[in-house]
Chain A
Amino acid sequence: MSAVIEARDLGKRAGRATLLDGVGLAVEAGEMVAIIGPNGAGKSTLLRLLSGDLRPSKGEVRLKQRGISSYTPRELAARRAMLSQHINVTFPFTVEEIVLMGAGERSLREAGPLVDAALDEVGLAHFRERQLPTLSGGEQQRAHFARVLVQLACGEAEHGPGLLLLDEPTSSLDLRHQIDLVEAARRRAAGGTAVIAILHDLNLAIRFADRLIVLNGGRLAADGPRADIVTREIIRDIFEIDAVVHQADGVPYVLPQSMRAAPPAPQ
């Protein structure tokens, strides 16, 4: 199977600072990948490069076997959808109007079923006529997720399985809605979408993804199945904390410990 998105030797500089250097990855259709790493590791930069929003200083990104910069914004939007972290809507758009923005030029009449389905999936059907700025941060994040789901569905109807990028999609969500969102993303992957998400909560990342990509200091520190990545040593190296890794139903489970109370690292 060929990769939906591929990055080779990706680098990004801003002034003198190197945000990202020598990162390569390939994600196939139906795969679910979580990007983890400490603050400033280059996770958001990597995602923006993969979305085509930023241009790399070196290397290249290929989406569906084509250089990502060769797509027009509209062509790109039909093949990859992205949920950003902070979106501040200043005008009194309703939830429904925001979600409909994902449907491109389609009217509400045409895209109605998709909008309905997405609002149901994020649990906001009862808020559809509420103005977005009046909702809580978590509810707004869910509304934007619904918009991204509509965009993905519209694109996939025309061009087949696409790419879904999520930048800390659960940052404002309560526990139940974190799980709901993860499961909604899993359903997309089961349908063939390639899903890449930045997640801070290691346990959610483990639950979310079969494969983890670890960034540290702008470089790829590790990339592999969760069982290989979620080890006490890697967590100590990357996050500089000590953690106990348990197994629950065959899935690793990370319990962070205080650094001061931590026993010396096994040599």
Chain B
Amino acid sequence: MSAAIGTDARRRAGTGRRFASIAIPVLLAALAATAIVALTVGAAGIPLSRLPAALGIAGTADAMTARDQLVLWSIRIPRIAATAMVGGLLAAAGAIMQGLFRNPLADPALVGVSSGGALAAASAIVFTDSRFGETLRFLQSELLPLAAFAGSLTATAILYGISSRGGRTSIAVFLLAGVAITAIANAGIGLLVFIADDRQLRDITFWLLGSMSGATWTKTAVLAPILVIGLGACAYIARGLDLLVLGEADAFHGGVDVERLKRISIVMVSAMTGVAVSISGVIGFVGIVVPHLLRLVIGPTHRLLLPASVLSGAILMVGADTLARTIVAPAEMPIGILTAAVGAPVFLGILLRQRGLASL
């Protein structure tokens, strides 16, 4: 028995991860700071000094304030809220999926889950814009998230069915199946683009680029309940995902109801990804980059990793969206380009660190 170890107070406080105990407060503060920056910059600049008045917290009401309030409350705040939630959903979906597949390279956008959702959403657009579906057009904003969820769920279920055999998941089969599912979904989207009329085409193109410019309060309202349910589910499945790293059989030996865990995880990944995709279009790599960096700093324990992923994903997306709407102002860069520019090199970095991957 080592006395030095027994008296190590730091270890007793957590699990020997120095930043684990302060991660959530630090991330909350960072999110608040990012949101304030995002509020102040844009096509119509609102300097920090005018921000309290524009938010209606303090200050005098003049003509300038009225304009600021309009910009903030009807454009910028719903957009920031929706962007933050989309980022949180994408990052958490990535973290859950990586736990489920025991693979740090799993990402809903990379393996076709987002594409499946996008295909279903695009189908819903074409259908509701067509003569046959026009009676349902008034339901379009409700129908899109549902269709995207169904599409993502189908893609995830197919992916799991193909790559998981006898309790083991082959990483090579998993990634290749993901490539194939993405290709099939993209072919479907291509077909829809081909047959679409001008109006439908404009709506579909929005998904292909990935953008937050269509964010409204209505869409924010769709995201919020999924995020709340998602956070609750994260707390419920966190320990099971930890044990799942041992493999399905050993997670079961450790007391995890593996079948139920897999069902909940698949439904949650599909719902979170599908709803995010229905608002923002396909945005890749948030789900890989965020959990990967967090694991390096706070460790892989899901009880902390999942909520930290939600916050970090929100920070990353709000930051990226702020860049997207300022660097080429007054035009706007599709945010998917920015996240891919940051995310793809990180993905390659993980690959390089995992030379042993071929043996899996």
For window 286-300 of B, CB contacts with A under 8 Å fall at 295-296, 299-300
Q: B213 at interface (Cβ–Cβ under 8 A)?
A: no
Contact status A120-B249, CB under 8 Å = no
In the complex, what residues of A have CB within 8 A of residue B6's CB? 116
In the complex, what residues of A have CB within 8 A of residue B15's CB? 94, 96-97, 100, 108
Contact status B11-A73, CB under 8 Å = no
For window 28-53 of A, CB contacts with B under 8 Å fall at 48, 51-53
C-alpha gap A236/B239 in the complex (Å):
48
For window 1-28 of B, CB contacts with A under 8 Å fall at 1-2, 5-6, 11-12, 14-16
Contact status B242-A96, CB under 8 Å = no
Contact status B258-A89, CB under 8 Å = no
Contact status A101-B16, CB under 8 Å = no
Among the listed B2, B12, B247, which residue makes an inter-chain contact with A84, where contact means beta carbons less than 8 Å apart?
A: B247
Interface size class of A (residues with CB under 8 A): 35 or more
Q: B255 at interface (Cβ–Cβ under 8 A)?
A: yes
Among the listed A74, A97, A104, A116, which residue makes an inter-chain contact with B257, where contact means beta carbons less than 8 Å apart?
A: A74
Contact status B253-A90, CB under 8 Å = no
Binds B, one of A4-12, A15-23, A75-83: A75-83
In the complex, what residues of A have CB within 8 A of residue B52's CB? none
Q: Contacts A77-B253, A88-B247; is A93 near B299 (CB within 8 Å)?
A: yes
Q: A125 at interface (Cβ–Cβ under 8 A)?
A: yes
Q: Which residue of A lies closest to B249 (CB)?
A: A53
Residue of B11, B250, B296 contacting most chain A CB atoms (<10 Å): B250
Q: A128 at interface (Cβ–Cβ under 8 A)?
A: yes
In the complex, what residues of B have CB within 8 A of residue A100's CB? 15
In the complex, what residues of B have CB within 8 A of residue A48's CB? 249
Contact status B253-A51, CB under 8 Å = yes
For window 242-287 of B, CB contacts with A under 8 Å fall at 242-243, 245-247, 249-250, 252-258
Q: Which residue of B lies closest to A148 (CB)?
A: B253
Q: Which residue of A lies closest to B242 (CB)?
A: A101
Among the listed B239, B245, B247, which residue makes an inter-chain contact with A105, where contact means beta carbons less than 8 Å apart?
A: B239
Q: A157 at interface (Cβ–Cβ under 8 A)?
A: no
In the complex, what residues of A have CB within 8 A of residue B299's CB? 92-94, 97
Contact status A72-B257, CB under 8 Å = yes
C-alpha gap A21/B16 in the complex (Å):
49
Contact status A73-B2, CB under 8 Å = no
Q: Contacts A97-B301, A116-B1, A151-B254; is A90 near B245 (CB within 8 Å)?
A: yes
Q: A126 at interface (Cβ–Cβ under 8 A)?
A: yes
- Give the A-binding residues of B (Cβ under 8 A): 1-2, 5-6, 11-12, 14-16, 102-104, 239, 242-243, 245-247, 249-250, 252-258, 295-296, 299-301, 360
The 8 closest A-B pairs by CB, nearest first: A77-B255, A91-B300, A74-B255, A129-B16, A82-B253, A73-B257, A53-B249, A73-B255
Q: List 5 A-B contacts (CB under 8 A).
A: A78-B255, A96-B16, A97-B242, A105-B239, A126-B5
